[in-house]
Structure 1
């Protein structure tokens, strides 16, 4: 795990993806999810979105993450919020789910850390015919300078930083049918204010002392995002298994 992900894990952030929790709520409000729906939150982290769906939609929600610490924090959140999510340890590239089990697969800033095509094939495997995948990922314009691209990849431990068009091509090549692929600017001051309306009261920060290297990594990440803001965006992808 990269020092960036280690830092996020230690601090227990619930929604570090572009747009944050407020964007997730907005997008999920337009997705038909009932008490009979089976939802897989892949790369669930501390389980904030998974618990939200369990609480507000009453769906059968399963959260999967490969970090033991994240799953522990997700289970603690589950108890605190009185929700009924099944959190489990597992790899997004080899999920412990049978074929065609899910109505919805949710991803929040996961593909950027993985071999995206391989991960999408696995997501398609576990979706029922007609099932929907919802994915929020940071994307890069072609204008992003190569040196900045390499810095971001190194700091965050990323194999690639794809454009919205490249993600869309991957979805179609794997066998998904587009419902929507929406380009958005990275959050600005007003968006950050909206995020403050959703304070995470069940965030759990690890008790051990923060590694100075993690602090350095997070600071460098924020500086890189700020310096290259005009070259970076994020995409919200909603696709159906055809």
Structure 2
């Protein structure tokens, strides 16, 4: 059986896999105004680490979706253990199963790059209320790759394209977002927070070749550490 990178994350049950981990999520949410009337959609919730953090710290209405059934299973288990009041659905973010203008915040943590961006970002715009914010932490080309390097990354991660900062911003504007804030964050600011290291909720009977894929991911991260990074984008729907 051939495993994708998202299969790797799901079967190992890796929480906090996005750049900056839960520490970055905390820092972002500290700057937000959230009340009982705030309605949040987390897309690509994974094992539910961020989901649990949000609902346990903020008085809001929270919905979470993910396209991977194993992720949904593990996130549901986590949320049920704490009896968190979260609506969680298995769904494709390219066709979000919610009505227009329903959410005040849409959160995507290293998810959008794995989708058809031309479909996904307009969906985020559609479900956001006027005045609402799209918050993304996304893989970004920091320095140019040659075609072979880009091909290697695209094939390994199963992404359709690798965007630089300007190309991300163009995608947001094309979907209708006009007010875009791009934040440069050094991941080194967060790696020393011991409690925020990635956690694991491993499935049973994991094939050894899955760990080989994890090693390949770590090798690529090291190989391209000067060229591949991430950005935080905050886009407001006016």
So what's the TM-score if we normalise by structure 1? Answer: 0.92
> Which string of whole-angstrom CA distances, capped at 9 and with x for unpartnered residues, describes residues 117-144 of structure 1?
2101001111111111100001013422
Q: Is the 8 A contact 2:34 2:60 kept in 1?
A: yes
Q: Is the 8 A contact 1:43 1:65 kept in 2?
A: yes
Deviation, 1:162, is: 0.5
State the alpha-carbon separation in 1 of the partners of residues 163 and 197 from structure 2.
Answer: 30
Q: Say which SS state the counterpart of residue 15 (structure 2) adopts.
A: coil
Deviation, 1:229, is: 0.6
Q: Say which SS state the counterpart of residue 104 (structure 1) adopts.
A: strand
Question: Residues 200 and 225 from structure 1, CA distance in 2 versus in 1: closer, same or farther, beyond 3 angstroms?
Answer: closer
Contiguous gaps of at least 5 residues in structure 1: none
Deviation, 1:66, is: 1.0
Please name the residue that 2:67 is paired with.
66
Please name the residue that 1:213 is paired with.
209
Q: Say which SS state the counterpart of residue 190 (structure 2) adopts.
A: helix
Deviation, 1:19, is: 1.1
State the alpha-carbon separation in 2 of the partners of residues 82 and 26 from structure 1.
Answer: 25
Please name the residue that 2:38 is paired with.
37
Q: Is the 8 A contact 1:152 1:221 kept in 2?
A: no
Q: Is the 8 A contact 1:36 1:59 kept in 2?
A: yes
State the alpha-carbon separation in 2 of the partners of residues 213 and 112 from structure 1.
Answer: 24
State the alpha-carbon separation in 1 of the partners of residues 228 and 126 from structure 2.
Answer: 31
Q: Does 1:223 align with 2:222?
A: no
Give matches, 1:55-134, under 5 Å.
55-134=56-135
What stretches of structure 1 move > 3 A for 4+ residues in a row?
none
State the alpha-carbon separation in 1 of the partners of residues 146 and 217 from structure 2.
Answer: 16
Please name the residue that 2:190 is paired with.
191
Please name the residue that 1:26 is paired with.
27
State the alpha-carbon separation in 1 of the partners of residues 65 and 175 from structure 2.
Answer: 22
Question: Residues 223 and 20 from structure 1, CA distance in 2 versus in 1: closer, same or farther, beyond 3 angstroms?
Answer: same
Q: Say which SS state the counterpart of residue 219 (structure 1) adopts.
A: helix
State the alpha-carbon separation in 1 of the partners of residues 237 and 137 from structure 2.
Answer: 17
Contiguous gaps of at least 5 residues in structure 2: none
Q: Is the 8 A contact 1:138 1:235 kept in 2?
A: yes
Deviation, 1:210, is: 1.8
RMSD: 1.7
Q: Is the 8 A contact 2:102 2:127 kept in 1?
A: yes
State the alpha-carbon separation in 1 of the partners of residues 215 and 102 from structure 2.
Answer: 40
Give matches, 1:132-151, under 5 Å.
132-151=133-152
